[in-house]
Amino acid sequence: MGLFLYIVAFVLLYILWQFKSLFFSSVRVLNPFHEDSRKTIREQVTDQKKRDEVLKNGFKPEKVPKDLDAIVIGSGIGGLSVAAILSKIGKKVLVLEQHDQGRGLLSYIHR
Ligand SMILES: Cc1cc2nc3c(=O)[nH]c(=O)nc-3n(C[C@H](O)[C@H](O)[C@H](O)COP(=O)(O)OP(=O)(O)OC[C@H]3O[C@@H](n4cnc5c(N)ncnc54)[C@H](O)[C@@H]3O)c2cc1C
């Protein structure tokens, strides 16, 4: 009986090995850090009118794209990190923040 079980186990393992591509090839491991996507730091915009064009551009439901992959609630370091990683693997992400400034608790930390 013991030998029979060994043989069955061996045959099953052999079949699994032969057809492993059926089980594992469709699993694509997405590495968000596979390429260096760092960009040169852009000059800070100091013109308040130009800043307000972005900063005072409040939330409106009709502006939300229909084809989002993820919505992240809160722009603290946790939300921004997960949003950045998801977007690096090609996901379309929307970050929603209740306040008019991002960064969450990090806003309180100053040098
Ligand atoms: C004074 C101070 C000093 C600190 N010093 C350190 C330190 O030296 N080292 C360290 O590791 N950590 C430090 N911390 C802790 C660190 O800042 C926090 O742990 C970290 O910022 C938490 O990040 P978070 O993304 O989890 O949450 P948060 O930063 O709290 O972000 C959550 C965000 O979600 C938003 N939000 C919540 N609910 C909603 C909603 N319903 N809709 C829309 N938006 C929503 C909030 O407005 C906020 O912007 C410090 C914190 C403080 C306050």
pLDDT tens-digit series, residues 1-45: 788 898 999 999 988 888 776 666 665 678 888 888 888 999 999
Q: What is the pLDDT of residue 39?
A: 87
Q: What is the pLDDT of residue 92?
A: 96
Q: What is the pLDDT of residue 74?
A: 96
Burial of 65 (0-12, 13-18, 19+ CB in 10 A): exposed
Q: Which of 96, 105, 111 to mutate to test the pocket of ligand 1 (most atoms within 8 A of CB)?
A: 105
Residues with CB under 6 A from ligand 1: 73-79, 96-99, 104-106, 108-109
Q: Closest Cα to atom 5, ligand 1: which residue?
A: 109
Across residues 44-62, what is the average pLDDT?
89
- Whole-structure pTM value: 0.74
Q: What is the pLDDT of residue 93?
A: 96
Q: What is the pLDDT of residue 24?
A: 66
Q: Of 96, 104, 92, 84, whose CA–CA distance to 58 is shortest?
A: 96
Q: What is the pLDDT of residue 19?
A: 79
Q: What is the mean pLDDT of the chain?
A: 87
Non-local CB neighbours of 71 within 8 Å, separated by 6+ positions = 93, 94, 95, 96
For residue 46, name the pLDDT band (cuts at 50, 70, 90): very high
